[in-house]
Amino acid sequence: MTWQHDDPVLYEKEKAEVEAHFPELRFVVENSLVYVRGNFAVMFEEQVLDHYSVELQLPRNHPTGLPVVRETGGRIPRQTDRHIIAADGTACVLLPDERWRLWPVGSPLLEYLTGPLHSFFLGQTMVEEGHSWPFGQWAHGAKGVFQFYREMLKTSDLRVMTTYLDYLAAKKVKGHWLCPCKSGKKLRDCHFDQVKDLREKISRKDAEKSFTTLKAAGTSAIEDPEANPPAPIFQS
């Protein structure tokens, strides 16, 4: 079963809210998958600044999973520095590990469109016009993961980061484990509350993926450590 069959009331609510706010977007169901397609309006100072042809494929477990986003007009180059994956044209709208503060699990789809997705396409327009990314950005791939956790954990120590991620991905964390901060103390006597808080915000699946990404990249993840954290502008 899929979310629209399991919760038809939610489907109708999401559809009504999105199509009322974005009149040029339409919900379409194909092969049991829900898509949102059409022209996505980019706003600036309450005026339409730009449009993009888009397709959002909502996951079968919506609103738990993240939508797959594609810019279908062929306007944005398939380049990592534009946050488009060359192989399939999907857009890297946000780092899954950061979802908790940009579009928490269970939030209405409309908040995704007016929040992180709007910031993504507004940024694309600004870059296309020769400006830098207006809200800051994480780098693509392992470097972006490193930048995010450097900000979160206040450390550039790759081993500390991967230990934290190992704890976040674990089925259960035990207080007698050594704290990942390298203090030499047991976790329960040091950063237990921090680890607990992060486990409530970042899913085990996302933490495991980031752990694998950083371990595979090694020191190459920190070759270019400078980045300005994204600060999304939300459409009114």
Q: Is residue 218 part of a domain?
A: yes
pTM, two decimals, is 0.89
33 CB-contact burial (10 Å; exposed 0-12 / middle 13-18 / buried 19+) = middle
Distances (CA, A) of 101 to 72, 91, 115, 152, 199: 28, 19, 11, 12, 14
Residue 236 is assigned to a structural domain of this protein = no
Residue ranges making up the domain that contains 211: 142-222
- Residue 104 shares a structural domain with residue 211: no
Q: Do both 89 and 123 map to the same domain?
A: yes
Q: Is 60 exposed, middle or buried (0-12, 13-18, 19+ CB in 10 A)?
A: middle
Q: Is 133 inside any structural domain?
A: no
In a domain, 22, yes or no: yes
The number of folded domains in the chain is 2
The pLDDT value recorded for residue 224 is 60
Evaluate the CA torsion angle 77, 78, 79, 84 in order and state its sign.
positive
pLDDT by 10-residue block (mean), the chain, 236 residues: 93 98 97 97 91 97 96 94 92 96 96 97 94 84 93 95 98 96 96 97 97 92 62 48
Residue 170 lies in a domain: yes
- Residue 20 confidence (pLDDT): 97
Q: Choose among 230, 71, 213, 231: nearest CA to 139.
A: 230
**What is the DSSP track for 15-66?**
HHHHHHH-TTEEEEEETTEEEEEEEEEEEETTEEEEEEEEEEEE-TTTTSSP
* Residue 55 is assigned to a structural domain of this protein: yes
**Terminal CA-to-CA distance of the chain, rounded, Å?**
34
Q: Which amino acid is at 94?
A: L
* Residue 229 in domain: no
What pLDDT is stored for residue 225 in this prediction? 54
